[in-house]
Structure formats: structure tokens, C-alpha cells
Amino acid sequence: MQSKNITRSQELFQQAQSLLPGGVDSPVRAFRSVGSQPLFIDRGEGAYVYDVDGNRYLDYVLSWGPLILGHANHDISRVICTTAQKGTSFGAPIPLELELARRVMGFYPSMERVRFVNSGTEATMSAIRLARAFTHRDLIIKFEGCYHGHTDSFLVQAGSGVATLGLPDSPGVPTVTANQTLIAPFNDLDAVKAIFQSYPHQIAAIIVEPVAGNMGVVPPVEGFLEGLRGLTEEFGALLIFDEVMTGFRVHPGGAQTLYNIKPDLTTLGKVIGGGVPVGAFGGRQAIMDLIAPAGPVYQAGTFSGNPLAMAAGVETLRILENPIVWENLEARSKQLKDGVLSILRKKALNYHLQSAGTMFTLFFTENPVSNWASASLANREKYAQFFRNMLDYGVYLAPSQFEAGFLSSMHGEHEILLTLEAIEQSLV
């Protein structure tokens, strides 16, 4: 293990702090919770990123999930460049929107209509507005530790970003707005039942990450998602699956296919943009037809459906339609998981690796994690040391105990073996 020379990154971060709040444009990038300073990235290639000092890192952040085909995929880069030569934005309909919509619906049949937006936050915000309009109700149920973007309604017990920085519920969120969001522990169906019994005619929707990814990876316990579906049907509320992270990551058809649950609305992002900013929400036609101009619920965006995102998304999903791509991703994910578990047994370390599809988190805690209360017991100092050790071995993990790691199709057997070797040396 040898510490990297990151002089140029340090110089740029010093400059950034006089230009950007905290020196970054998204909080977790600041590396504060791991006792370090951020790397400034120069380029990516396949499974690797290179910082401005020339150091190479095997990347498991992958832009926080979108890069399921790795960095600078040739086919995606080609279609982006070709599309850009024709224009980057028109603020008008383009044929690519229709092609991407058809491909998304092919993977997600529950989405009978889809609206493209620019981010996952826009998608979840719009889905909540739509749910309230459809049900004529105001209250929303979300779960502790689940993150659905930085809209006011969701910055209550909001998981990784807030938890990583040790922040309380965000200042600037009006109390009246926060009071419209009801909180339950993830994987606790009885708590959700109790909320419905207290507000039987006031809850518009449940929004849930079907596999939590923003307190680290936490799969649903048996019967939890089925129970949510049953309760929403019983009380006339909608079920919204936030698959911004899990979409194409836990299964090509998302968690709803993996667990055979049909939500009323689904939000997507990340992967469907192929590395270009994008989001989408969709669901039953009767609900989606309330969106303007088909209906009275207003939602708009100058860059929604922009050519670059649509072209990159079409090419990404075209590649993912090949079942061999997913089979290889699953094989490498299993190789990584089995290898880490073997190391933990050999070293007699009672830490917990939790995974779903191509997502994973190593929790530095003695007990399995099923909700935010158990996730929050993880030893953040041990994770921070592990993160720094792995970085010295050339492996780039998320700079937070409460984030997911991701694999790409470019993480081959060689990359997994390198990662396992680094993990064995880094766990102390």
C-alpha cells in the first residue's frame, strides 16, 4: 500500500472552497465523513477513473450508479457526439423521446405512460404532486433513511446525504410541509398499518425505495413490499416505487420485477440517461393522464427529453436488452460478494455485506441491517479508515458508510480479483 500523490487535487479543492459552497456541487463529494479531501477526476475509462494527478482507481461509485456500462462507453459516446452535432436542445418534441419511452416501457410494463424530466428529484417531486391530485389527499408516507431527492417534502429522515454530514432535517423546510410527510421505519409493516389506521382517509401515497440504497443497501424483508401493496389498495392510496437507484440495478426490470409487485407509479433516473442527466416517472394511464397538457396537473421542463439524454438512454437500454450483459453483471456481482464473505470469515470479522443485483454495501456493524436504526449503528470511523486504505490500493468507493457501491459491465474477473486483494489488505 502506498499513499497517492494528490497534490493537484488538493490545490483545486483549496480554490474550490472560495468558489463553491464547501468546495463542491453535491455534499457527499467533499469526503468530510471519511476524514479526507476529494479527488478531482480528469477522465474515466471502462471500470477506472483517473484523477488530475494521474492516479488510476478502480471505480465502484460510477457516478453514483448511472454508468452500468462503465465510463466512456464507445457506443454511448458515439451517439452523444453524433446527436450533439445536430443540436443539443430544442425545447420541442423529438423522435428519440418516443424510442426511449418504448424501451423503458418494455422493461417496466407497469409504466403505461411516461414523462421524462431532468433528474430523479424532479421525477419523485412530480410523482408526489400527481398522487395528491389523483387521490385528493395531502399526506405522504416515506421511510426513515430513504432518500427521494432534495424536495422539501422528502428532507425528513432522508438517509445518506444528510446522515453522512450529520445534519438535522434541513433548515429551510417549512414545518407545514414537513408535517405532510409521515415517517415509518423501513421493513416495519406494523408501523405503516398504524399510520393508516390513524389517517385512513388522508394518505395520498407511500413512496419507497423497494431496495433501500441511501442508508446503504438494505433489501426488503419477506412480505414487506407485498404488505405495502395491500395496505395502499385497502385504504385507497397509491404505491410509488422510487427506482431511481434500483432501476436496472437489482434486475433489468427493477425491484418491481424482482419481487413481482406492481406499483401505481414508478420513478426512474440514472441508468436511463447513460451518464447524461435524466429522470422519468410513469405508471397507470388513468393517473398519468392527469399530467398537463392531457390533464390539469402542471409539470414542465425546458430540458426535459433533451436529445443528448434521450440518445444516450436509447443506446444504453439497447445494450441492456441483451440478456448476456445482465448475466455477466450478475456473475461478477456474485464473485465479489462471495469473495468478500470469504475474507470476513477468514479474518473473523463480524461485519455485514449486503447486496442486491449490482449494488452492495459493507456495513461495519455487528448485526445485519434492516432499517435506518440498525444502519446508524455502523462504525463510521472504521469505514473511513477502510475507505482511505482502499483508495491507497487504487479502489474508489463511496465516501460514506451510508451509500451503495455499484458494478459495471466493465468490471471483469480481473477487476474483481484486484478488489478482493485490496479488501483483504485494507480490513484491519
- The set of catalytic residues is 147, 242, 270
Rg, the chain, Cα only: 21
Listed residue (43, 35, 39) closest to 16, CA to CA: 39
Instruction: Give the amino acid at 365.
Output: T
Q: Looking up cell 493537484, which residue turns up?
A: 8
Whole-number Å distance between alpha carbons of 15 and 25: 14
Bridge partners of 143, per DSSP, are 184
CB atoms within 10 A of CB 21: 10
Whole-number Å distance between alpha carbons of 28 and 166: 11
Whole-number Å distance between alpha carbons of 241 and 236: 16
Listed residue (205, 189, 45, 221) closest to 137, CA to CA: 205
- Quickly list H helices, 108-217: 120-135, 160-165, 175-178, 189-198
Q: Looking up cell 461478477, which residue turns up?
A: 332
DSSP calls for 346-362? HHT---EEEEETTEEEE
251: which DSSP letter? B
